[in-house]
Amino acid sequence: MMTDHGSGYACVYASVYEKALADSGAFWLDAAAGIDWVTPPTTALDSQNAPFHRWFPDGEMNTCHNAVDRHVAAGRGDQNAIIYDSPITGTAYNLTFAELQQATARFAGMLRRYGVRTGDRVIIYMPMIPEAVVAMLGCARLGAVHSVVFGGFAAAELAKRIDDCQPKVIISASCGHEPNRIVDYKPLLDEAITLSQHKPGTCVIYQREAVIASLVDGRDVEWHAAHEGAEELAPVTLKSTDPLYILYTSGTTGQPKGVVRDNGGHAVALNWSMPHIYDTQPGEVYWAASDIGWVVGHSYITYAPLIAGCSTVLFEGKPIGTPDAGVFWRIIQDHNVKVLFTAPTAFRAIKRADPAAELLQHYDISSLEYLFLAGERADPDTIIWAQEKLGVPVIDHWWQTETGWSICANPMGIEALPVKLGSPSVAMPGYEIDILDDAGKPLGPDELGAIAVKLPLPPSCLPTIWGADDAFVEKYLTNFPGYYETGDAGYRDADGYLYIMARTDDVINVAGHRLSTGQLEEVLADHPDVAECAVIGVADDLKGQLPLGLICLYPNCAKPAREVCAEAVDLVKSRVGRVSAFNQIVVIDRLPKTRSGKVLRATMAKIADNVDWTMPATIDDPVILDEITTALQSIGYAK
């Protein structure tokens, strides 16, 4: 928790946080008044079946109504709801709230025609097109539980999700567009259905111009044909505790776990977050440069901006290559974006491609007031670069698929706290955080340990895992009784600022000394010739583990790679100390990442140690791992 230093430092934030801590029921019932209810809740939290806590148990509402219909009723039907921009296909157009209301109403009627009822599941396997958002909201309108699977996801992984949630209908498209290729979705979908035990009754396919998919008679129906003559349905009244969606965590092995999101708590928390964390008001333009297949796309492309009455940007492109490293600046200029939220890896890619930000000079980005980063640790070098080039606050914040919104942030709509590089700032209302040792004992300031959140979790956080209450308890609530285990390691300073240093599994134990990969990567990133980097722990007979650095150099680096490596090793030893035992670096062309930008450190460590590993289902480009294997073999690993 933030410490009051006696000079007004963080006093506004502290009072809000303390209010939520002292009387969470009153705090969240007050926040709940910010959305529309059919039956307003009188009880904030039901803990009778703890640890399965439920928010606003006696409330009734509909999420689609709150995201769409209420804004039309308030007279803002002509305001843009979705701003679609696809530099890959050269397509851009907008949907107003009135148009979105009609589209979701008709989609809900189409689902009902094909036998979908409240509580039934619908898988959405689509690219970044407005129809995907319509499908999400249309499911919410009907009370069907949607499960969005990242478009182009491997057939075997899609099959696991089909079997787990057993959808009555699957919504898909003929293809997705990548910068240099087209991904045929339909063959992947057909293979997944062949592999799965559960067979959906209907597949609705949106045909894109680049590929016209063949349809299976009796099962598949084209998007527009499916909608012909469909009744436009009003939003269905749902319990606050009814499930809104299932989102599967991207594990590389075993059965995927479906994070459940409820309706009421989710809508309340996201609606609260928009003005208080992101400092946005109805009518302003908010852009989360992510994908609807990930939690950021659920929370901050689709639901939060629309519930809050903002216009949301739906971007089908990449930070570089569509067509260049200036596309983000063009989007901001063309659509008057106030807030940009993206992953640090996107800005690292832009920085590597255009170090001096020369392309920025061609655009007017004066509408931009904030850049928010999340998804992976934001290294100070990237934050400083973005601050200097954009001239706006760059705010790191931390949250997870399981929570749906920020655990820690700098709440710009409450009080702009001092930025501390490397920290996502402080706990948001409802999150009471402790740093624990392996035995579950709370640690003091600046001590590295497991980050855990006291139960009950605030609204929007997962109430359970779909169809697997026991797995929910085992995965998140067992190691530290009374806490939710985040799986992240870090520390908190004397002011209450949190520092996320690594996943718990990425903490390296060197002869009994615990080192975080984040700390070592932070130092490596400070070298002027290092564009990107990662640190992994490799097995060592003497010390248990040793750190190994992998670095990508800027294209214009004039020094020999060997010289850069030597300088980087010296940099780590001077700042972290020889206790780090940091002596090994290998230069690579690119880092292996998931499609959401997370570096695959655990997979690289397994390759280095020559132990069995499985190709991650979410990897952006599998060929990269062959390159990594070759690079590791060149220095004596991966034999």
If one compares 431 and 623, the residue with the highest pLDDT of the two is 431
On whether residue 557 sits in a domain, the answer given is yes
- Asked if omega into 319 is within 30° of 0 (cis), the reply is no
The CA distance from 516 to 422, in Å, is 13
620 DSSP 8-state letter: S
Is 559 domain-assigned? yes
Distance CA 166, CA 143 (A): 16
CA–CA separation, 576 vs 51, rounded Å? 41
**Residue 614: pLDDT band with limits 50, 70, 90:** confident
Is the separation of the CB atoms in 226 and 204 below 8 Å? yes
pTM, entire model: 0.87
268: amino acid identity, one letter: V
Please compute the mean of the pLDDT values over residues 266-293 and round it to a whole number.
Answer: 97
CA-to-CA dists, residue 184 to 189, 199, 210, angstroms: 9, 21, 10
Residues 68-75: contacts with CB under 8 Å, at least 24 apart: 68/97, 68/100, 68/101, 68/104, 68/137, 68/306, 69/101, 69/235, 70/36, 71/97, 71/282, 71/306, 71/309, 72/97, 72/98, 72/101, 74/309
Three-state DSSP at 247 gives strand
Number of domains in the chain: 1
Tell me whether residue 94 is in a domain.
no
Beta-strand runs (E) in 493-610: 498-503, 508-510, 513-515, 530-540, 544-553, 584-587
**427-463 pLDDT, tens digit each:** 999 999 999 999 999 999 999 999 999 999 999 999 9
Average pLDDT of the segment spanning 596-616: 86
Task: Print the domain residue range for 624.
Answer: 507-633
Least confident of 99-108, 185-194, 626-635: 626-635
Span 10-17, mean pLDDT? 90
pLDDT value of position 391: 97
Q: Minimal CA–CA distance to 92: which of 329, 293, 314? A: 314
Q: In Å, how far from its chain's centre is CA 145?
A: 20
Q: Distance between CA 584 and CA 565 in Å, rounded?
A: 8
Give the percent of the chain with pLDDT over 70: 96
CA torsion sign, 608 to 614 to 616 to 622?
positive
> What CATH number did the domain enclosing 527 receive?
3.30.300.30
Give the pLDDT band (50/70/90) at residue 157. confident
Q: Tell me the average pLDDT across 298-304.
A: 98
Instruction: Say whether pLDDT at 173 is over 80.
Output: yes
Q: Is the pLDDT of residue 511 over 70?
A: no
Structure tokens belonging to residue 252: 């590389």
Domain assignment present for 147: no
CA 144 from centroid of its chain's CA atoms: 23
Sequence letter at residue 119? G
Mean pLDDT over the full length of the chain: 93
Question: Closest Cα to residue 602, out of 501, 502, 472, 463?
Answer: 502
Taking only Cα atoms into account, the Rg of the chain, rounded to an integer number of angstroms, comes to: 24
Question: Of 156 and 242, which is predicted with more confidence?
Answer: 242
- The helix (H) or strand (E) run that includes residue 108 is helix 97-113
Does the pLDDT of residue 291 top 70, yes or no?
yes
Interatomic CA distance for residues 441 and 238, integer angstroms: 41
Secondary structure, 3-state, 299-332: HHHHHHHHHCCCEEEEECCCCCCCCCCCHHHHHH
Lowest average pLDDT, out of 250-254, 331-335, 397-401, 565-569, goes to 250-254
User: Quick one: pLDDT band at residue 513, thresholds 50, 70, 90?
Assistant: low
- Calculate mean pLDDT across residues 42-62: 97
Average pLDDT over residues 373-395: 92
Average pLDDT over residues 593-612: 86
618 against 4, higher pLDDT:
618
For residue 505, what pLDDT is reported?
66
Pairing of strands 426-427, 433-436: unpaired
Percent of the chain at pLDDT above 90? 79
Domain assignment present for residue 561? The answer is yes
Decide if 543 is inside a domain: yes
Q: How confident is the model at residue 591 (pLDDT cuts 50, 70, 90)?
A: very high
| Nearest by Cα to 455 from 428, 433, 439 | 433
Q: Among 237-241, 347-351, 451-455, 463-467, whose mean pLDDT is lowest?
A: 347-351
Determine contact, residues 140/261, Cβ cutoff 8 Å.
no
Q: How confident is the model at residue 253 (pLDDT cuts 50, 70, 90)?
A: very low
Q: Among positive and negative, which fits the CA dihedral 157, 158, 159, 165?
A: positive
The pLDDT score that the predictor gives to residue 514 is: 64
- Residue 179's pLDDT is 87
Mean pLDDT of 280-306: 96
Q: Please, which pLDDT band fits residue 254 given cuts at 50, 70 and 90? A: low
Give one DSSP letter per residue of 325-381, joined into a string: TTHHHHHHHHHT-SEEEE-HHHHHHHHHH-TT-GGGGGS--TT--EEEE-SS---HH
What is the spatial distance between Cα 257 and Cα 566, in angstroms, rounded to a whole number?
43
- Residue predicted with more confidence, 399 or 501: 399
Kindly state whether residue 587 falls inside one of the protein's structural domains: yes
Question: Residue 361: its pLDDT value, please?
Answer: 97
pLDDT for the residue 49: 95
Burial class (CB in 10 A: 0-12, 13-18, 19+), 393: middle
Q: How confident is the model at residue 599 (pLDDT cuts 50, 70, 90)?
A: confident
Report yes or no on 612 lying in a domain: yes
